[in-house]
Structure 1
Amino acid sequence: MKRLLLVFGLLTVLTAFIPKKELKWEAIGDSITYSNSHPEASQHRISVGYMDDVAKAIPYVQYNNHGYPGWTAKAMAENIEKIGIEKADVYSIFLGTNDWWVGLPIGTMTDYENATGNETVYGAYRTIINKIRSLNPDAKIILMTPLQRTEYVDLNNPKVYIQGQFKPKDGVYLSQYADATKAIAKAEHFELADLYYKSGINLKNAVHFRRLRDPKTGEYKDYKYPEYIGIPYNPETDVYPYPVEAMDMTYDGLHPSDKGHAVIAKMLVKIMKKF
């Protein structure tokens, strides 16, 4: 018995030193995905992205970045044959926030089931997933819900402003896009990184404050959420409302800071370690 235990223990130790087989990962997404390895896009307010964080935690993961700023599920579906998606072990799809802002119709699960085309979120996801399955029918697929977001002002072009999720866009809430992503993941038994509901990134910690002029005095004041809702911002005359010290989970109200990317990566690492 002692000899058997010794042999078993030796095998366990030796197995621990066998290198893991490389796990190839194709990351599909929008500007949040793109920002990985592109710190210049944030004027170097970030230094890493969620893919770098995952690869650091799981060294045998090798990724390709297929992030495109401003892209919706429809744009991704329409271009999925052109962007060089390769055969891989794992695919992640991280979209939704642009879909909400441009008003891409969500559609229904029927659009997904019947592959009705790219004019709805459900239909576009079917196109993307069909492409993935054509490359590797056995691949693991991770769907990622959009992050919660507050008022966004583009760091590189402050004239670009987008309202926060605290009110609907064209009568639709960002959460409804997250719910559609969850529904597809459930129906297909895909892995889900539920960033919207479970990451802990929310309106309160997206930024520490917005620096805006007090409407009464004209003097700048740092307003926390929800105090800043409704206070006007004029990009022609006002300073950028998110100085470096305002950064928390995001650096501009939408795009994750290093801290935010680390949260995303932690959720993905938990999933990928099962593969």
Structure 2
Amino acid sequence: MARLTSFVKRIFNSLTNIAEAKGKKITGYKSKKWISYGDSITSSNGWQPAVAKRLGLTHVNRGIGGTTITENGSIAWIDQNGNYKGQPPKPQPNGTIEILSSMCNSQRINATIPLDTQLLTIMGGTNDFGRGLPLGKGFPTNERPNLDESTFIGALCSMIEKIQTRLPNCRIILMTPVPRYHNGKYEDKNKAGYLTSDYARAVKDVATFYALPCIDLYSNVGWNRMNGEYYLIDSMHPNKTRGYKRVSEIVIGALEVLQQDVKSSIEEEDTNQPTEN
């Protein structure tokens, strides 16, 4: 009888532990600390409030306008809490710190992405295209990538590895740049011979290499040469009423699907648990 009681207790404790672990995984995004990391399409804060409100996230904006993923030596100023406060040619505000602002740079990563970050979205590439920065070589599956930060792919890989080393448990989600549109057509190739779609494709390839989710804005925002002026204020920045609304809808949908996939996988694990007869 004592052995039976002990066995029942072990089963009960095991089920309790499973339930507690499940609860931690499927509680959703409510109150989770979300950092949005990127360029001006992030720093403008046009799409994040709707996402945070819908999913209950605690959002902190870490975008810096004009920045690239590729290292280019640019600088910016942040306050003691890591908030962006400006960049040249404006004068440096009092009480701010100068950092190298490329998204792959360790100074920016360490100064602006807190250690308690739980969800990190990373969007960049449109300024890499605009500056004609080299795309770089791809990499074979399952081999260590080139981490050359003077190229887009190398810098993107280097950035991810730095962030994952610093925050190994953070959920990282990459986002492609949005399409660029100008004077009734997509922009021509840049001086390096690439289109925005080439940088977007590279983001997706890198996400696959690191087994990270990727929100493909480039393929899903729905603006093109026929209707670009309806969604954009210039060749690349979404407008507040329609463009950013569309971006927020796509991000919300993607994050909800991602959370549901996690929940479904846990439920599937439950059905595959062995039972005691």
TM-score range normalised by the length of the shorter chain: 0.5 to 0.7
Q: Tell me if the contact between 1:206 and 1:254 (Cα under 8 Å) persists in the aligned partners.
A: no
Return the match for 2:214 from 188, 192, 198.
192
Distance in 2, matches of 1:125 and 1:144, equals 12
Please provide the CA RMSD for this pair.
2.5
Q: Tell me if the contact between 1:77 and 1:127 (Cα under 8 Å) persists in the aligned partners.
A: yes
Alignment of 1:194-273 (within 5 A): 194-207=216-229, 248-258=230-240, 259-273=242-256
Show the counterpart of 1:61. Answer: 57
Show the counterpart of 1:26. Answer: 35
What number of residue pairs does the alignment pair up?
A: 196
Distance in 1, matches of 2:30 and 2:246, equals 25
Secondary structure of the 1:257 match is: coil
Show the counterpart of 2:148. Answer: 117
Pairing 1:138–2:169 present: yes
Show the counterpart of 1:89. Answer: 118
Secondary structure of the 2:104 match is: helix
Secondary structure of the 1:64 match is: strand
Q: CA deviation at 1:109?
A: 3.0
Q: CA deviation at 1:82?
A: 5.1
Task: Tell me: CA distance 1:20–1:196, structure 2 relative to 1, closer, same or farther (3 Å).
Answer: closer
Pairing 1:105–2:101 present: no
Task: Tell me: CA distance 1:94–1:164, structure 2 relative to 1, closer, same or farther (3 Å).
Answer: farther
Secondary structure of the 2:139 match is: helix
Q: CA deviation at 1:90?
A: 1.2
Gap runs ≥5 in structure 1: 1-14, 37-48, 153-162, 208-247
Pairing 1:76–2:78 present: no
Task: Tell me: CA distance 1:82–1:89, structure 2 relative to 1, closer, same or farther (3 Å).
Answer: closer
Task: Tell me: CA distance 1:134–1:116, structure 2 relative to 1, closer, same or farther (3 Å).
Answer: closer
Alignment of 1:150-161 (within 5 A): 150-151=181-182
Residue by residue, what CA displacement relative to the aligned partner does 1:69-100 show, whole Å, maximum 9, x if unpaired?
11110221124345421131111111011101
TM-score, normalised to structure 1, is 0.65
Q: CA deviation at 1:186?
A: 1.6
TM-score, normalised to structure 2, is 0.64
Distance in 2, matches of 1:190 and 1:266, equals 20
Show the counterpart of 2:94. Answer: none
Query: Going by fraction, where is helix more abundant, 1 or 2?
Result: 2
Q: CA deviation at 1:68?
A: 1.0
Distance in 2, matches of 1:21 and 1:256, equals 27
Q: CA deviation at 1:53?
A: 1.3
Distance in 2, matches of 1:20 and 1:144, equals 18
What amino acid is aligned across from residue 250 of structure 1 in structure 2?
L
Show the counterpart of 2:178. Answer: 147
Alignment of 1:11-22 (within 5 A): 21-22=30-31
What amino acid is aligned across from residue 262 of structure 1 in structure 2?
K
Distance in 2, matches of 1:117 and 1:19, equals 36
Pairing 1:51–2:48 present: yes
Task: Tell me: CA distance 1:120–1:189, structure 2 relative to 1, closer, same or farther (3 Å).
Answer: same
What amino acid is aligned across from residue 64 of structure 2 in structure 1?
Y
Secondary structure of the 1:147 match is: coil
Return the match for 2:188 from 151, 162, 167.
167
Distance in 2, matches of 1:110 and 1:80, equals 26
Secondary structure of the 1:26 match is: strand
Gap runs ≥5 in structure 2: 1-22, 71-101, 260-277
